[in-house]
Amino acid sequence: MGKTTNLIHSVPVDELTGSISVPIYQTATYVQEAPGVNKGYDYGRSNNPTRHALEKIVAQLEEGTAAFAFATGLAAIDAVLKLLKAGDEIVAVDDLYGGAYRLFTHVYEKFGIKVTYVDTTDAENTIDYITNKTRLVWLESPTNPTLKISDIEKIAAIAHAQGAWVVVDNTFASPIAQQPLKLGADIVVHSGTKYLGGHSDLVAGLVAVRNEELAEKIKFIQNASGGILGPQDCWLLIRGIETITLRVERQCRTAQKVAEFLASHEEVAEVYYPGLPSHKNHAIAARQQNGLFGGIVSFVLRQNTEAAAVQFVTSTTYFKLAESLGGVKSLLCHPAQMTHKSIPREKRLHSGVADSLIRLSCGIEEAEDLIADLKNAFRTVSRKKVWNESTVSLEK
C-alpha cells in the first residue's frame, strides 16, 4: 500500500454513525455504569476518542508503537524531558530550536539536568560527548534556521551503545520526508503547529515512540502533567494531516527551485538548503530524507546587515513576515530580530545565523510566483544600497 493510501485510511470511519469525519468528542467526563465500569474512557485529560484517533494516525505516520498529543510542540518536548531525573545528562545538537534551548537551560538545568551542546553534523565528533551518564541524545535534522543535517542512524548506534535514548525533533522534515524511528531513533517530537497542521491555524505538539516501554512512560507523563491537546484542535490537526503528503511534496519541490534561484543570485552570499549538492551533508540528507529536502530555505544577503534584511523581509508580497513555518501560505522571517533575538549576537553568529540571514518557508503557491516575489525584494534592497552609498559621506 502506498504511503498516502495508508495515511488516508488510518483516519477511522466512526463506527456508531458512519461519519467519515472523525467526531469531535467535546466532553470533560464519561458516564460510568458502576464505579470503574466504563467504555474505555473515564476523564477528558486521561483519554478522549478524538485525541485517540489523532494519536493513532501520527503513530502510523511515524511508524511508531504509539503517539501522544500535547497542547504545543514545547509541551511535547517538556513531556519527554520528564523522563529524566536530577543528575541525568543530555547531549544536544548545538543549534537547537530556541524554545527548546530556553526550556533546557532556564527550566530543567535548575532541576539538576546537565545539557552539553555538540556539533552533531559530525557523527565522529559526537562520539566523544556521549558517555554512560548521557540519558538523551537530542537531535534536530534539519536544524533551524541553517538546515544542518546529522546522521541519525550513525548517532543512534553510538547512543544505544551507551544506553541513551535518541530523540529527534522531526518538525522541519515532517514524517513525509523523514521517519527517524526507522533510522534508529527512540522518540520523535513534533511541533504539530508546522507541517502536520499545515494551515497555520493551530498550535499542537506530538511525541511518537518506538516501543511499549516508552509508550507507557509518555502516556503516564501526559496524564500526570496534563498538557493535552483539546478535542477541537485534535480534529483540526487530523484534517490538516490528511493532505500532508501533497503539501510537503510540493513544498519540497518549490524549495529546491527557490534554493537554486537564490544560489545563482548576485545579491546572495550564502544559501542553506540540504537539497543543494554544495550542502555539507547533502549525501546524508539524500539518504535519510527519502530524496525530499524540506520546504525551508535560508540565505544570507551580500549586504550582510540587519537593515538590509529588514528591507528585504518588508518588501515581499506573497512571503508574509511571520514566525512559524510549514503552512500552505509562504512565510519568511529574520531570525536575528525574531526567532533568535534572545540569543547573544556572538553565539548567534557562531551557529551561522548571520545578521542578514533570512529564512523562507515555502507554501503551496506556484514556485514561479514565489521566485518573482523574491526578485522584486532583491531589487528593493539593491536600490536602497545605492541610496546608502550616496549618503555615506553625509552621515559621517
Ligand X SMILES: *Cc1c(COP(=O)(O)O)cnc(C)c1O
Count of residues touching ligand X (by CB under 6 A) = 16
Grid coordinates given for 199 = 494551515
Compute the distance between CA of residue 181 and CA of residue 122 in angstroms, rounded to an integer.
20
First to last CA, the chain: 68
Determine which residue in the list 51, 154, 194, 210 makes contact with ligand X, applying CB under 6 A.
194
Binding of ligand X by 78 (CB under 6 A): no
Axis-axis angle for helices 244-263, 367-395 (nearest 10): 40
Determine which residue in the list 64, 205, 294, 335 makes contact with ligand X, applying CB under 6 A.
205
Binding of ligand X by 70 (CB under 6 A): no
Residue 197: which residues within 8 A CB-CB, separation 6 or more?
A: 204, 236, 237, 240, 241, 326, 327
Q: CB atoms < 10 A from the CB of 7, how many?
A: 20
Give the shortest CB-79-to-ligand X separation in angstroms.
12
CA dihedral of 214, 219, 221, 227, whole degrees rounded to 10: 130
Binding of ligand X by 355 (CB under 6 A): no
Residues annotated catalytic, as ranges:
45, 97, 169, 194
Binding of ligand X by 254 (CB under 6 A): no
114-118 sheet: strands from edge to edge: 66-70, 205-209, 187-191, 165-169, 134-140, 89-93, 114-118
Measured at CB, which residue is nearest to ligand X?
73
Determine which residue in the list 179, 193, 222, 254 makes contact with ligand X, applying CB under 6 A.
193
Residue among 193 and 281 whose Cβ is closer to ligand X: 193
Closest CA relative to residue 119, chosen from 148, 98, 153: 148
Binding of ligand X by 175 (CB under 6 A): no
Residue among 284 and 296 whose Cβ is closer to ligand X: 296
Q: Which residue has the cell 545565523?
A: 353
Near ligand X in 86-125, by CB under 6 A: 97, 99-100
Residue 213: which residues within 8 A CB-CB, separation 6 or more?
A: none
Residue among 73 and 363 whose Cβ is closer to ligand X: 73
Residue among 23 and 99 whose Cβ is closer to ligand X: 99
Residue among 235 and 261 whose Cβ is closer to ligand X: 235
Phi–psi pair at 183, nearest 5 degrees: -90, 0
Determine which residue in the list 134, 144, 281, 356 makes contact with ligand X, applying CB under 6 A.
144
Give the shortest CB-171-to-ligand X separation in angstroms.
4
Binding of ligand X by 339 (CB under 6 A): no
Residues that bind ligand X (CB under 6 A): 72-74, 97, 99-100, 140, 144, 169, 171-172, 191, 193-194, 203, 205
